[in-house]
Amino acid sequence: MMMLVTWGLPFFLLVMGVFSFISNRKHLLSMLLSLEYIVLSLFYILFIYLSMMDYENYFSMVFMTFSVCEGVLGLSILVLMIRSYGNDYFQSFSILQC
């Protein structure tokens, strides 16, 4: 029973994050938030795996550093998009426009 709670909850959180990412396609901010939720659930899975196998948790710190860098890049794209287009709707801009 404990194994189901230990591994079932993180994978359920991951599936819910992917579902929210797929369902929120209009706004860039909601997509970035659901991506961060997916990264946090992956971090939780990685932390459980490393703890159960008695490995060092150093790799989880590296993973968290890269996820923070990914979040900062997403926010910078959001700020750039809001400054140039005025909102974060994907329908308001065209990729073919230079």
Q: Give the CATH number, domain containing residue 42.
A: 1.10.287.3510
Alpha helices in 24-92 (DSSP H): 28-52, 58-85
Q: Is residue 86 part of a domain?
A: yes
Q: Is residue 98 part of a domain?
A: no
Alpha-carbon separation of residue 70 from 36, 49, 51, 82, 94 (angstroms): 9, 23, 25, 18, 24
pLDDT of residue 7: 81
Tokens 């994907």 belong to 90
User: Residue 48: which of 1, 3, 95 has the closest Cα?
Assistant: 3
pLDDT of 96 above 70: no
pLDDT of residue 29: 84
Structural domain containing residue 80: 2-92
- 90-93 contact pairs (CB < 8 A, 24+): 90/25, 90/26, 90/27, 90/28, 91/26
Domain total of the chain: 1
Mean pLDDT of the chain: 84
Distance CA 34, CA 10 (A): 15
Q: Is residue 13 part of a domain?
A: yes
The 10s digit of each residue's pLDDT in 15-47 is 999 999 898 878 888 888 899 999 999 999 988
Global pTM value: 0.81
Q: Is residue 47 part of a domain?
A: yes
